[in-house]
Amino acid sequence: MAVPAALVSETLSTLPGDDVRSVMWRLEGRYDLQMLIQSVRQVARGPVARLVAEGARSSHDWTEQKNALLEHYDACGATGVFMEPHQGGFLEGPKNLAMALVAFELAWVDAGAATGALAGHLGLSPIHERGTQEQQDRYMSLSAPAAPGEDRKPWRGAFALTEPIPYVGVDTGMLGGKVSVARWEPGQEPVLKVEKRGRFITNMGFANFVTAAVDSADERIKGTCMVILEEGDPGTFDRGTPTKKLVHQLSSTSDPIFSLEVPASRIVGGYSVKDGVIVPRWSHDEIIAAVFKHTRVPVGVMTAAKLLSAVEPVIRYQRGRFRGAQQARPGSPRYDLGLQVREDVLHRLVDVWATGEAAASLGFSTSRLFDELDPLEKVKFQTLQEKGITGRAELRYFKDVNARAVELVKLRAKPEAERDAARVAELEADPLVRYAILDSAGAVLCPATKLWNTGHGATVMREAVALMGGYGITEDCPGFLGHKWMDAQLEATYEGPEAVQRRQLSVCMQNEVFLAQLDAWTKELRHIASERPDTGACNLASAFVLWRYTYDHLQVATDATGQKLYQGPRQGVTFALSDALAWLMAARSLVLDVVELEQKGAENAVLAEGLPGLVRFYQDLSHVQCARASGEVGRICAELVYGYNKHPEWNADAQQACWEARELDELEDLIPGIGSCAKDVIEAGGGHPDKAGPCAHCSSVADFAALRMKLDQCLTGARLAKDRAAEALSKVMIPEALDYPV
Partner 1 sequence: MSGYHVVVCGSIVPDPLQTLEPITGPTGPSLKNEMMLPAVLDPWAAQALFEAAALAQKAPGSKVWLVALGPKAKLQQVMMAVGQKVPFELVAVDGPAGGFVDAHETAAALAEAVQAIPGLDRARLLLFGGWESGSRGAGVTLQLVGERLGLQDQFQGVDQLTPQPDGSLEILERVEGGKHQVSVVAGPPALLGWATGNLPEPRNNPQVGMANMKGIMPALQKAKPAKVGAADAQYLAVQLPKQQRETRVVKDLTPDAIAAELVEWISKD
Q: Which stretch binds partner 1 (CB under 8 A): 9-17, 268-276, 659-667, 691-699?
A: 9-17
Question: CB of 403: closest distance to partner 1 in angstroms?
Answer: 43
Question: CB of 14: closest distance to partner 1 in angstroms?
Answer: 5
Contact 594, 625 (CB under 8 A): no
Q: Residue 318 or residue 578: which is nearer to partner 1 going by CB?
A: 318
Burial tier of 245 (Cβ tally within 10 Å: 0-12, 13-18, 19+)? middle
Q: Residue 76 or residue 97: which is nearer to partner 1 going by CB?
A: 76
Question: CB of 17: closest distance to partner 1 in angstroms?
Answer: 5
CA atoms within a 13 Å half-sphere pointing along the CA-CB vector of 162? 24
Q: Residue 342 or residue 731: which is nearer to partner 1 going by CB?
A: 731
User: How many amino acids of this chain bind partner 1 (CB under 8 A)?
Assistant: 36
Q: Residue 90 or residue 650: which is nearer to partner 1 going by CB?
A: 90
Q: Residue 34 or residue 259: which is nearer to partner 1 going by CB?
A: 34
Residues in contact with 663: Cβ distance below 8 Å, sequence separation at least 6, in sequence order = none
x/- contact string, 147-186, with partner 1 (CB under 8 A)? xx--------------------------------------
**Range 71-100, binding partner 1 (CB under 8 A):** 75-77, 80, 90
Question: CB of 413: closest distance to partner 1 in angstroms?
Answer: 36
Helix 571-601 / helix 611-643 crossing angle, nearest 10 deg: 160
C-alpha closest to that of 444 among 505, 502, 360, 495:
505
C-alpha closest to that of 303 among 79, 118, 461, 471:
461
Question: CB of 86: closest distance to partner 1 in angstroms?
Answer: 13
Burial tier of 568 (Cβ tally within 10 Å: 0-12, 13-18, 19+)? exposed
Question: CB of 300: closest distance to partner 1 in angstroms?
Answer: 25
**Range 424-453, binding partner 1 (CB under 8 A):** none
Contact 619, 594 (CB under 8 A): yes
Q: Which stretch binds partner 1 (CB under 8 A): 11-19, 265-273, 671-679, 682-690?
A: 11-19
Supply the DSSP symbol for 646.
Answer: P
Neighbours of 356 (CB within 10 A): 27
Question: CB of 740: closest distance to partner 1 in angstroms?
Answer: 10
Q: Residue 38 or residue 563: which is nearer to partner 1 going by CB?
A: 38
Q: Residue 76 or residue 194: which is nearer to partner 1 going by CB?
A: 76
Rule CB under 8 A: is residue 636 a binding residue for partner 1? no
Rule CB under 8 A: is residue 655 a binding residue for partner 1? no
Neighbours of 381 (CB within 10 A): 11
Q: Residue 257 or residue 606: which is nearer to partner 1 going by CB?
A: 606
Pairwise CA distance, residues 252 & 238, whole Å:
14
Q: Which of 609, 666, 668, 683 binds partner 1 (CB under 8 A)?
A: 609
**DSSP letter for each residue of 303-325:** HHHHHHHHHHHHHHHHHHTTTTS
| β-sheet bridge partners, residue 659 | 681
Rule CB under 8 A: is residue 643 a binding residue for partner 1? no
| Count, residues in the chain | 742
Q: Residue 6 or residue 733: which is nearer to partner 1 going by CB?
A: 733
Helix 512-531 / helix 431-448 crossing angle, nearest 10 deg: 80
Question: CA of 524: how far to CAs of 413, 448, 491, 511, 531, in Å?
Answer: 8, 20, 32, 20, 11
Q: Which of 7, 10, 42, 137 binds partner 1 (CB under 8 A)?
A: 42
- Enclosing H/E stretch for 277: strand 277-280
Q: Which of 256, 478, 610, 648 binds partner 1 (CB under 8 A)?
A: 610
Give contact residues for partner 1 (rule: CB under 8 A). 13-14, 17-19, 31-32, 34-39, 42-43, 75-77, 80, 90, 147-148, 604-610, 733-739
